[in-house]
Structure 1
Amino acid sequence: MPTISVNQNDMFELLGHTYTMGELEALLLLVKGELKDIDPQSGELRIELKDTNRPDLWCPEGIARQIRYKTGRLEAGTQLRCREFAPEHRILVEPPLHAIRPYIGAFLASGVAVTEQFLTQMIQTQEKLCDGYGKKRELFAIGIYDASKLAFPVHYRAVAPESVRFAPLGSDEEMNLAEILARHPKGIEYGAILREHALYPLLQDERGDVLSFPPIINSRTSGEVRVGDQRLFVEVTGMDLEMTFHAVNILAYNFQDRGFSIEPVLTAYPYDTPYGRDVISPYPLKNEATVSCDLFERYLGMTTTIEEVQSGLAAYGVSSQLIGADTLTASTPSYRQDYMHAVDVVEDFAIAVGYDQFEPAMPERFTVGRLAPLTILEDGVRDALIGFGFEEVISNVLSNKAEFDGDALEISNPMSESYSMMRNSLLPSLLKVEAKSSKSLYPHKIFEVGEVALRDETDSHGCATQSRVAAMIAHAEANFSEMGSVLTYLAYLMGWTCSLRPVKNALFIEGRCGEILIDGKSVGIIGEVHPETLTKWGIKMPVTLFELQLTAFA
């Protein structure tokens, strides 16, 4: 969970009021926060946030903003106040970036001198967002510059690694981009993001001065913000435009809360984006959900009127509009992008009201629980495979396009590209583990019992969840017969009548792949993995696998 450091005087200034530590701890419940430590000498507070869906709260500005709604110092629906767009404030994007790092959003912040305390918090926020929400800069990265040193328009270019030289932050020596990746600490840490590309992204101003080499490092000349700077240029480059704009919006609200005036910047793309070719940021992203009043009573066990619901939501910074006698649409400012279901609105209301306001109710029925038949079957399969000398692995049900091909289910609003699909097989999960285990002593024998999601037009949701088991053997002599004997003995212990039927599958070597039949019904596949597949995953040993579904036998 994210943990941030905050100066207590800075926090109280953002809150607009001085609180005792006890009062502050109570208010931190509004952000699912816990005060972990206090340094009485420096006044530093360490706050742990027990929610990863609200990156806007990973900074003192976001925490203070959320609390100010509840204390009446900020009204629900308060929007970002941007100055009128100036046509010269533009970023021009080059076509090759579409295949490298396609999106960028930016704004200008001015009117307040940067203080030492704000600079410290700004760097912390930048790191927390990039590392946590941006997946260590892979999905997006943030750059902040002294705007007085740059000339518009800014150019977002794709350049050859040896074609440009500049002095990066933390170095007095000029280096080209390839040298930065090889020698600079940040290049070594984040260089894998770009190494597969022939061209690298570069930000330059109209004079040709380098601003940064995103997502690696800023230039020392214009990319170093100092105490006393009064006009800043803030940009975010990324792989997903909505996520990029979300980060831009969080930062813009933070600067506004510090008293800065926000000036929008237009990005001109030579290719289509989800929001057009000429896009101004900060961008008013929507975060809304429709909810009926009876849902609050059903989930919270309390009777509420629509007026009470609206009042409670307003105390959490959520605007609401009636669209019927007992139904409303709830919406938040654009620094939040966490509404996935009407239940999320109910949760906001419950947090605003306070969980201590709900009367606990004892269960009215007493029942004796027992394991479901499917769970008993899964445990039996686990015990058998462990007895055969296999080790169990547990992988995420959510994955991405790079690992799962075919008809895998995509998530329409993923929080991260790394978890944008539901897996439809356990086999890629086992291959992924093997690909990272080449230095471990062979043979490797692993298995997984887990869920997959498949399309099912007969289901009301259009998909169905299936429990499966998959096993893998990897060593220099791994072959079909070895895994076949494991499958045969497993079927014997489970009381199944098992047979195999030849089948072709691109994952396996032709002639060494079989369809698994249990009691005459097709339930899985077994085979020796094709060398091309092994090369794709970076696996150097022969591998044999089987996978079969368990749901049908429960």
Structure 2
Amino acid sequence: MPTISCSEHDLLGLIGEDMDRARLLSLLPLAKAGFDGEEDGKLRIELQDTNRPDLWSCEGVARQLRAHLRGATPSYPFFRARAARAGGRVEVDADLAAIRPVVGAFIARGVEVDEATLIQIIQTQEKLCEGYGHKRREAAMGVYDASAIEFPVRYRAAAPDETRFVPLGFEQPMTLNEILRDHPKGRDYRRLVEGKPRYPLLEDSAGTVLSFPPVINSRALGEVEVGDDNLFVEVTGHDLRIVALVLNIMACNFADRGWTIVPITAVYPYDTAFGREVTIPMDLSCTQEVPLAKVNKALGLALAGKEVQALLRSYGVAAKLKAGGIISATSPAYRADYMHPVDVIEDIAIARGYERFEPVMPETFTVGGLAPSTLLADRARQELVGYGFQEVFSNVLMSREETRARLRIDAPLVEIENFVSDTYSVVRDRLLVSLLRVESSSTKAQYPHQIFEVGEVAVYDESAVHGSRTEDHAAALMASGEAGFSDIHSYLDALMYFLARDYRLESRDMPFAIEGRGAVVRVGEKEVGVIAELHPEVLVAWGMEAPAAYFEINLSALA
């Protein structure tokens, strides 16, 4: 969970109310936060929710507590369409659609940056981009002295070996490829742009480089100092909604410190989720409706409609009581976590205070026990260990190359939408991949090798509620100079005997199996697994040095 640090004086100043330490700490749960000690004279505050990045700053915590103390939702005029007159433009190059397609920005002016503000800007930038922005993949932020920028700003695709500028921390100009190779930040974030024919670049209309997003700012414009009073804040990424939310949060943080926010319009030559001209900050508020009866049932209370309305407003949420006892709740523009009516009920519970709920002893007592599927999985483990197999434990996330290309398979997978690394971009749909990953790293160990795993897989299934189904599988693999279909079959036969399941094999060719040496396992008319001697092309793709055979059983289908 994110942990932030801020001075008590700064936090109280943003709240706008003086109070002792004990009272301040007692209010932190309203911001889904807890006190994590003191370091270098500053409070360490641990945020206990990953869905509220607006709270990941001193300003965000103060904003939530201020709404509670004043009983009203905060107001930010720059989110209103009539007030949001753009103060400049960012012009986007068409070639960025396939590289890093999204950019947004605003200007904050009117207050001089002091030491406390500068520390908080840097901290919030790091928390939002590294955490919510998935290590800068979805959101990378730059802050600049706007007084030195000539508008419009251009966001363009640049040649890696021809474009040069002086990056922060260095004295001499470097090409973009030199930055990726020699600059510490370049080495940290080159994975985000490597392999592209051109790289993203932000420069002003005079040709002065602002930054090489998402890697490093330029030394010329990308270094904010104490005393600056006119700042340009930009965020680049792949998802416009994420970029806009990060900028909304930053705009509110600056506004809470007295800065005037001037929106910036990004002009795209291609379509985006919000059109071709996008002005940010923008209103991302969402409305959820929930019956009052459902609120009371979920919380075990008998709250009146006006009481619920007041609780939501004290939590920074605009609320209306509609006909039929319906609560209409609208999240503020800097939040994007209203996805279900239950989110509204959670806000009501937090605003009321969990400590005010009276504990109730359960009226029904039951004796717990292991689920049948767990008992079956444990029995499979015991048997395979008894046969001399060694258990492995693997990550359920794999790469597409491992789960498809190396197995000679072409079929849909459950994919991770906002993956950080290609290595963990899909969910495995069979344990074979995990066993092969282990075996490919064990070629120097003495043969024979016998390994197994019991674990979950996610199978792509359009007919399922969420488009996939989760299954418990057991799989075993043996590799040696003599490993073959009959060898692994003997172990499958023994396992099914001790699991008390009658089965039969039905010959079937599979992409990862040698022709004529693969079969499906059937119990009754139900297909519950596969058995195969692995194809030489699969062995070569995984860098294996000995023949291998394996079986895999769907324990969920047997339970």
Settle same-fold status: TM greater than 0.5.
yes
> In the alignment, is residue 518 of structure 1 matched against residue 523 of structure 2?
yes
CA distance in 2, matches of 1:381, 1:237: 49
What one-letter code is carried by the residue in structure 2 that aligns with 1:95?
A
> In the alignment, is residue 65 of structure 1 matched against residue 96 of structure 2?
no
Q: Is the 8 A contact 2:507 2:518 kept in 1?
A: yes
CA distance in 1, matches of 2:527, 2:265: 57
Change (3 A) 1:529 1:219: farther
Match for residue 214 of structure 1? 213
> In the alignment, is residue 274 of structure 1 matched against residue 279 of structure 2?
no
Match for residue 453 of structure 2? 447
| 3-state SS of 2:497 partner | helix
Match for residue 382 of structure 1? 381
Match for residue 30 of structure 1? 30
CA distance in 2, matches of 1:400, 1:313: 44
CA distance in 2, matches of 1:324, 1:261: 39
> In the alignment, is residue 487 of structure 1 matched against residue 492 of structure 2?
yes
Match for residue 20 of structure 1? 20
Match for residue 347 of structure 2? 348
Q: Is the 8 A contact 2:86 2:262 kept in 1?
A: no
What one-letter code is carried by the residue in structure 2 that aligns with 1:374?
S
Identity %: 42
| 3-state SS of 1:81 partner | helix
Change (3 A) 1:166 1:498: same
Match for residue 360 of structure 2? 361
Q: Cα distance, 1:9 vs. partner? A: 1.0
| 3-state SS of 1:285 partner | coil
Q: Cα distance, 1:235 vs. partner? A: 0.7
Q: Is the 8 A contact 1:108 1:264 kept in 2?
A: yes
TM-score when normalising by structure 1 = 0.89
Match for residue 407 of structure 2? none
**2:429 maps to which of 409, 425, 445:** 425
Q: Is the 8 A contact 1:400 1:418 kept in 2?
A: no
Q: Is the 8 A contact 1:264 1:282 kept in 2?
A: yes
Q: Cα distance, 1:257 vs. partner? A: 0.9
Q: How many residues get paired?
A: 546
Q: Which moved more, 1:265-274 or 1:509-518?
A: 509-518
Alignment of 1:304-383 (within 5 A): 304-383=303-382
Q: Is the 8 A contact 1:79 1:333 kept in 2?
A: no
Match for residue 149 of structure 2? 150
Q: Is the 8 A contact 1:110 1:231 kept in 2?
A: yes
Q: Cα distance, 1:140 vs. partner? A: 1.6
Per-residue deviation, residues 345-391 of structure 1 (Å, max 9, x unmatched): 11111111001111111111222222222221122223333444332
Q: Is the 8 A contact 1:267 1:279 kept in 2?
A: yes
What one-letter code is carried by the residue in structure 1 that aligns with 2:506?
R
Change (3 A) 1:331 1:511: farther
| 3-state SS of 1:5 partner | strand
Change (3 A) 1:364 1:88: closer
**Long gaps (5+) in structure 1:** none
CA distance in 2, matches of 1:273, 1:534: 44
Match for residue 73 of structure 2? 76
CA distance in 1, matches of 2:536, 2:281: 49
What one-letter code is carried by the residue in structure 1 that aligns with 2:453?
F
Change (3 A) 1:121 1:152: same
CA distance in 2, matches of 1:167, 1:478: 61
Per-residue deviation, residues 282-318 of structure 1 (Å, max 9, x unmatched): 1211333221212222221111122221111111111
CA distance in 1, matches of 2:374, 2:389: 21
| 3-state SS of 2:197 partner | coil
Q: Cα distance, 1:422 vs. partner? A: 8.6
Change (3 A) 1:462 1:52: closer
TM-score when normalising by structure 2 = 0.88
Q: Which moved more, 1:440-449 or 1:352-361?
A: 440-449
What one-letter code is carried by the residue in structure 2 that aligns with 1:71?
L
Q: Cα distance, 1:182 vs. partner? A: 0.5
Change (3 A) 1:476 1:260: farther
Match for residue 255 of structure 1? 254
CA distance in 2, matches of 1:318, 1:401: 45
Alignment of 1:156-175 (within 5 A): 156-175=155-174
Q: Which moved more, 1:414-423 or 1:14-23?
A: 414-423
Per-residue deviation, residues 65-91 of structure 1 (Å, max 9, x unmatched): 01111111x622634536955667111
Match for residue 11 of structure 1? 11
What one-letter code is carried by the residue in structure 1 that aligns with 2:67?
Y
**Long gaps (5+) in structure 2:** 405-409
Alignment of 1:95-110 (within 5 A): 95-110=94-109
